[in-house]
Structure 1
Amino acid sequence: MTAVATQLEMPPCDHKPRRYTGPSRAEVIAMRKQYTNPAVFTLYGEPLLIVEGYMQYLFDETGRRYLDLFAGIVTVSCGHCHPKIVGALKAQAETLQHATTIYLHPNFPLLAKKLASKMPAGLDVTYFVNSGSEANDLAVTMARLYTGNTDVVALRNGYHGGSPSAMGLTSHNTWKFPVAGGTGVHHAVSPDPYRSPFAGTAAEIATKSAEDILGIIRYSTPGKIAAFIAEPIQGVGGATHGAPNYLKEAYAITRANGGLCIADEVQTGFGRTGDHYWGFENFGVTPDFVTMAKGIGNGVPLGAVTTRMDIAKSLSQRIHFNTFGGNPVCMAAGLAVLDVIDEDGLQENSRVVGKRLKDGFRELMKHH
């Protein structure tokens, strides 16, 4: 029998994009080449000019519709231009665009309170920043202040940002420049069972990978560490994770050696894993810090670090201030995002659609 190719079509969409009247695609490319840093790259041999978005769809300058599976690099958690989020942004921008946290504004503590309601008991104090890099920088700083230790253990193949400090935490040579940064950071073996140097079952590989942290502490540090940082599921590293026992064992080793545990939830947080609101919950652990960005703002620059009050107080030793952290407009976006995730059932949608996708991938694995 001859296989017949099926022509796939997107479902109907009643949204009609506006007529685009801006610079042409060629003009945009020319301006980028002349006036923007060449490190800012585009995807595809023929880069797309995206001028409008509506929920799960993007539109180019011709009005052609695309299904956005990239979600702004795992950022658009509620859909492009979700009406509730747009409404919250518009209302706040028309009232007050910016006032720093040296003044009182309700949105700042309201979002912190709402985040606390989503966390395990005790993780209820939040510092707002603008990105995941800043969030991870700040978590490491607080861990070092609280413990009095300097060394940090991260994972090979992990990604934690592009600032000098976060670049040190990151373990991909393609994302690291030959400049000083991220001192006192050591990288342990990833528990990914598919590419591990260790043999055995996934659980055995996880145990051996956790023991690598202990080896680093014994031979590459003074015997105590400030923190262990890991993504519950590595994102840039290929959407991989260890067996369920890995984080439990890694956290136990970290705490037994003076360190605090940081869960980088920039890509896994806010219901994306379906069964749980936070990625770490899938592995039965509770971190000392939760860092987040991307999905919390649905595209608005917003990041955060949530921790315990006793740890948070360590930052009060000196003045620490973030000009845009806690901005009323960004806080309004965050409040609306958390509402939409619940009201639109997006965590359950992630569970259902994610299961269908994983089941399909597992079926493909049988043939490769």
Structure 2
Amino acid sequence: MSNLNQDQGQHTSHIGPEGVLEKRKQYFFPCTHHFYSNPPQIVRGKMQYLYDEQGREYVDFFAGVSVVACGHCNEQITAKTIEQLQTLQHTTTIYLTQPMVDLAEKLASGVLPGNLKRTFFCNSGSEANEGAMQLARLHTKRRDFIALEYGLHGRTYLTMGVTGIPMWRSDDYLDSGVTFIPRPYDPELDDETAARRSIESLRQVLAEKGDTIAAMIVEPIQGNGGMITPPDFYFREVKKLLEKYGVLLIADEIQTGFGRTGKMFAMEHYGVVPDIMSMAKALGNGVPIGAFATTDEIAASFNRPSASTFGGNPVSAVTALAVLDYIENNGLVERAELVGGRLLAGLCLLQKKHSLIADVRGKGFMCGAELRGQDAEASAALTDKVLERMKDRGYIIGKNGTGRNVLAFQPPIIMPSKDVDAMLKVLDEVLTAVESEGC
């Protein structure tokens, strides 16, 4: 997959990876990192493909962390975006424009689950979760939150407070009104036992201080936490417990939403409708947009004057409408279930063949393969080696997990079966080579 394409002959206008890295070093904050010891400069994308400054082609199995679900530079979507850019780019929510109300209506009319109907638009997942948490406080008139260990919910003050991955909690002075409970996963326990332990911990926290807690915020599948996928009963029992104490459930569907897991929203796998739901990423297919949605009753509590300068701007709203139409017209939810199931099954077969794969988890096109080295450091190094070699063979794969040792497969949902099969074949070859080297 390293063939040259139409970028050939044009790459001299690019500064190249070394030039990009030098400018990052000079002008970025030191917290900004990148994948690969030998990274390419990505200059172009087309559906499931990315291209570097040398014209090399890569099949993208990460989709910018679950963002471009409909493919890079999807012509049917970008045509609508360009048309709106040339018509009206921005006014803010203070003025009346049609795209954002059309988008809110579209979401309420068959996209959002249950009786979720009211939507507040913003710009990012962090902002959506921040707003969802503020809404929960306003409605319950309580202050505190429950979150799962190793969840990731954003980069704002409130959302870092409920983030349970230490590397993403960059502020040492975060809100103390958050109680973390064990997530429904432990490599030392079977799935049901780990889930029951988590539920029992929740029960104890609610019994002790349930009257102070506004909401529990969860990812239906923990993405950055390592593709942690709870048993089917887990969230149903969680919701029943929360309702007993008047605590709201916030579902963070920022990575999992809009078809990625084989349902429009991942909570649908568990038969649960949350009280508040946050969305972003795939809704804009690369154009920034975020939102949180809730019921008429809960939305009525957010009645203080508020606005968002850029939230729901005409360009983002028109793009999101085109995304929803594309998902529906091309059966992407069903495609994620079918082709994503093929990917998951293929990874499970590789696990049986390669001892380096400790576990395979996920649903639809949100899959993870945890790699196992001699210790935590070796596992992370092994993951980086596999990522590098897969990149050199023309495949872009992500990584996550608390030890940064989980291969993350979150491709554009338009990914065809042939590319899934080809990637699995190359991954098999790469793992075989790495094992032969004694890693």
**Superposition TM-score, scaled by structure 1 size:** 0.91
Separation of aligned partners in 1, 2:170 and 2:291? 25
Pair 1:240 & 2:232 matched: no
Equivalence map 1:180-195=2 (5 Å): 180-192=173-185, 194-195=186-187
In structure 1, the gaps of 5 or more residues are 1-8
- Report what 1:54 is aligned to: 46
User: Deviations for 1:158-207, whole angstroms, at most 9, x for unmatched residues?
Assistant: 11111121111110111112432344111111012x436xx5x5334323
Q: 1:350 aligns with which of 336, 340, 344?
A: 336
Q: Secondary structure at the match of 2:83?
A: helix
Match for residue 435 of structure 2? Answer: none
Letter in 2 for 1:296: L
Instruction: Give the structure 1 partner of residue 293 of structure 2.
Output: 306
Question: Could you tell me how far 1:218 is from its partner in structure 2?
Answer: 2.9
Hey, what's the Cα distance between the residues in 2 that align with 1:40 and 1:313?
A: 40
Kindly state the Cα deviation for residue 157 of structure 1 after the two structures are TM-superposed: 1.3
* Map 1:88-237 → 2, pairs under 5 A: 88-116=80-108, 117-192=110-185, 194-195=186-187, 202-219=191-208, 221=209, 223-237=211-225
CA contact (8 A) 1:203 1:244 kept: no
Residue-pair matches, total: 351
- The aligned residue for residue 283 of structure 1 is 270
Alignment match, 2:61:
69
Structure 2 SS opposite 1:81: coil
Residue type of the alignment partner of 1:231: E
CA RMSD of aligned residues (A): 1.9
Deviation at 1:312, TM superposition (A): 1.1
SS at match of 1:95: coil
Structure 2 gaps of 5+ residues are 356-439
Worse-matched range after superposition: 17-26 or 36-45: 17-26
Return 134-143 or 173-182, whichever deviates more.
Answer: 173-182
How far off is 1:222 after superposition? 5.8
1:3 aligns with: none
Give the whole-Å Cα distance in 1 for the aligned partners of 2:299 and 2:194. Answer: 35
Match of 1:315, SS state, is coil
Mapped partners of 2:229, 2:16: distance in 1: 43
Deviation at residue 224 of structure 1 after TM alignment: 4.1
- How far has the Cα of 1:22 moved from its partner? 3.4
| 1:258 matched to 2:246 | yes
Does the 8 Å CA contact 1:224/1:257 hold for their aligned counterparts?
A: no
One-letter amino acid matched to 1:73: V
TM-score using structure 2 length: 0.76
How many angstroms apart in 1 are the aligned matches of 2:14 and 2:296? Answer: 49
Q: Which whole-Å deviations, capped at 9, do the CAs of 1:31-65 have from their partners, x for residues lacking one?
A: 22112222221111122200100000000011110
**1:294: Cα distance to partner?**
0.6
CA contact (8 A) 1:224 1:258 kept: no
Higher strand share: 2
Shift of 1:29: 2.0
- What is aligned with 1:296? 283
Residue 322 of structure 1 corresponds to which residue in structure 2? 308
Distance 1:222 1:260, change over 3 A: closer
The residue aligned with 2:37 is 45
CA distance in structure 2 between the aligned counterparts of 1:363 and 1:174, rounded to whole angstroms: 32
> What amino acid is aligned across from residue 115 of structure 2 in structure 1?
G
CA deviations on 1:106-165 (whole Å, 9 max, x unpaired) are 101111111112122310110011111111111111111101111111101111111121
Tell me, yes or no, if the aligned pair for 2:210 and 2:247 is still in contact at 8 Å.
no
Q: Give 1:17 shift.
A: 3.8
* CA distance, structure 2, for counterparts of residue 31 and residue 56 of structure 1: 28
Cα distance, 1:88 vs structure 2: 0.9
- Once the two structures are overlaid, the 10-residue window that deviates more, 115-124 or 96-105, is 115-124
More displaced, 49-58 or 38-47?
38-47
Match of 2:380 in 1: none
- 2:71 aligns with 79
Q: Distance in 2 between matches of 1:238 and 1:222?
A: 29
2:6 corresponds in structure 1 to 16
Alignment check: 8 A CA contact 2:7 2:54 kept: no
